[in-house]
Structures are given as C-alpha cells and as structure tokens.
Amino acid sequence: MSGAESGEDLAAAWGAETDAGDAQGAGMATPAQPARVLNQAEIDSLLGFDGGPAGSENRTGMQRIISSGLVSYERLPMLEIVFDRLVRIMSTSLRNFTSDNVEVGIDNILSLRFGDYLNSIPLPAMLAVFKAEEWDNYGLLVVDSAMIYSIVDVLLGGRRGTAAMRIEGRPYTTIERTLVERLIHVVLADLTASFNPLCPVTFRFERLEVNPRFATISRLSNAAVLARLRIDMEDRGGRLELLLPYATLEPVRELLLQQFMGEKFGRDSIWETHLAEELWNTDVDLSVVLDEQVMPLGEVMALRPGSRIVLGCAPGADVQVRCGSTALFSAKVGKRKNRVAVRIERAAQRAGE
C-alpha cells in the first residue's frame, strides 16, 4: 500500500468517527460500532515485550506482574551483618595470602531461585561446592574468570600495573585449579569466622567444578541468598559470588532473623523481672482443712442455721494447708493468744514427686 493511500484511509477513518460523534450529539441513532482491535505493537506494549533493553526497570503490563512474585523471600538482617563481617576479615586474610594490597567490597545481596542463578553464571568460571558440617547442607562459591587469572598472576609473581593475561576457550590447568583451591580454603575459613559470633559452624571444601550442571546442590526452584563480592588488587581483580540456599540456613533461621546480636524472640528481661516482683507481692488465700466428712444428701438438706457439725480434729492433729484445690503444706493444729492456729511442719507431697 502506498503512503498516499494509507493517508487517505486514515483521514476517512477520522472523518467517520467525527460524523458518528456529531450524529450522537444531535440525538440521531447510529448503528453499533464494532469493538476496536489492538494491533501487534499495542499488544507487545501491554505485555511488556516492546523491544526495550533486557532487565529494564521500565517493565510494564504482564511482564511486571509475572516477575513480581518470583523473588518474594524473607530478609535475614543478621545474615547481612555476617557478610559485612566477612568482607572485613577477607580484606585482611587476602592481603596476607597475596602479599598485595587487596580491597574487598559487597556489590549486592539478593534472593533468587537456584535454577535462575545457575543459568546466569558467566562462563568460564570455577564453582566450589562446600558443606556446612553442623547444618548438614551445602553452599556454592563461584570464582569468575577475571579473578582466576588475577590470583594466578599475583601468586606466581606477576608484575604490578599489568592486566592479567586471559586465554579463553581452554580448560583450566592443574596449576590454576590448585591456586584457586587455596583461595577458596582461605575464603571458607573467613566465612566460618564470620558466623562464629552467631553460631558455631564449619564450612568444608568438597569439590571444584567448571560445569554448572555438576554443581547442583539444591532443587532448581528452591530459594537462595546470593552475595556478590568484588575483590580489587590494584589493577587486577575479579568477583566472588557466595550462594547459600535457604534450606542450608534453615537450622539457624531464627538467629538470622534477629535485628541485632543476642536478641531474644518473645522474651523481655525487663518485663520478666517486673512480673516476678509483682508475683512476690501478690496476696494468696490459704485454707486450712480441719476435717472432711461424707454426709447423706438428706442430712445436708436438713441443715439449718444453728445446726452443729462435729469436726474430728483434736488439738495437735495433722491438717493440710491448701491454696484452692492444691495442697501446699502439712501442719498441726494448736492455739496461740486465744486463737486457733496451725504450725507448718513440711511441704506437702505432690503427685509425681
């Protein structure tokens, strides 16, 4: 269709709508207009597939609705403190490990599905599977290619100020795997030290993989916490990514939900002390049971004001001191200052003692 013809069709459509509006304004009946059909561009815009950049924050329509519920997992405030502590400890230990000036920082901490993370790992990379001994579960430490070549260059005496040489498309050598494994042992020791103030746990290195399929430590749909660490060694460096599935953290979940170290859920020592003080000052009614008798119902019904019930309790007899229906003490009946009194002898035996 030529440009002139499409322009004429558009003008005709506008004219038809204008005529219909004038007819309705004048009170004239018009035939029912057919429902407007969305074109492909409008459908794409509604669903959020309008060709915008991937991962854009300007997602619209169904795309935002679908993705909004994917990562709605709880935050663990104490885990963020553990990672901050890990950064401080790693800065010192990596300086000793490399004999170089090392800066460690956290890029971000986020929750995601384990399967989504495996699909997003930039290859080539080394994936270290480690086990939390006390929690009987696993975690994942990913070292990217830039960090691998940087640590090899530093440990083998590469000159400062020169970027590490990267040869892509080949498997990692035994020397490279060995040096990276030493780095992983240092990081896991620091991670153990970071958790120690919260709870004792030991992270033990299990194996090193280069294929994400062989590093599956959890179901692909399970939730996990990912911490991305950035390591800079002057002109060299790279990234470490620490992934802990929520199933691994489940044994210490309540500790990680604390807002501060030592927080006690459901307990407040101030109120406990106040409640104890009030209990000590509470008035309690005690009853002394002098005698118990079994009487026919007819005799009970015949009782009148002035009737006498003879108690079978002689002076010096053993009686019970009760609070409600609970026996507290055994006592003896006596007399003091012209009043009947009891002297507590011993605590009453309770059931199960």
Q: What is the pTM of this model?
A: 0.56
- Phi and psi angles of residue 189, each rounded to the nearest 5 degrees, phi first: -65, -40
Give the mean pLDDT of the chain.
Answer: 78
Instruction: Report residue 225 as tokens.
Output: 């916490």
Length of the chain: 353
- Taking only the tens place, the pLDDT of each residue in 60-88 is 555 555 554 444 455 778 888 889 999 99
Domains located in the chain, CATH noted: 77-256 (3.40.1550.10), 285-297+312-353 (2.30.330.10)
- Taking only the tens place, the pLDDT of each residue in 284-340 is 888 888 878 888 988 888 888 888 888 777 777 788 888 888 888 888 888 888 888
pLDDT of res. 15: 55
- Taking only the tens place, the pLDDT of each residue in 84-130 is 999 999 999 989 888 888 889 888 888 888 888 888 888 888 899 99
pLDDT of res. 69: 47
List, as own/partner pairs, every contact residues 142-146 make where C-beta atoms lie below 8 angstroms and the sequence separation is at least 24, other chains included: 142/240, 142/241, 142/242, 142/243, 143/180, 143/183, 143/184, 143/238, 143/240, 144/238, 144/239, 144/240, 144/241, 145/238, 146/237, 146/238, 146/239
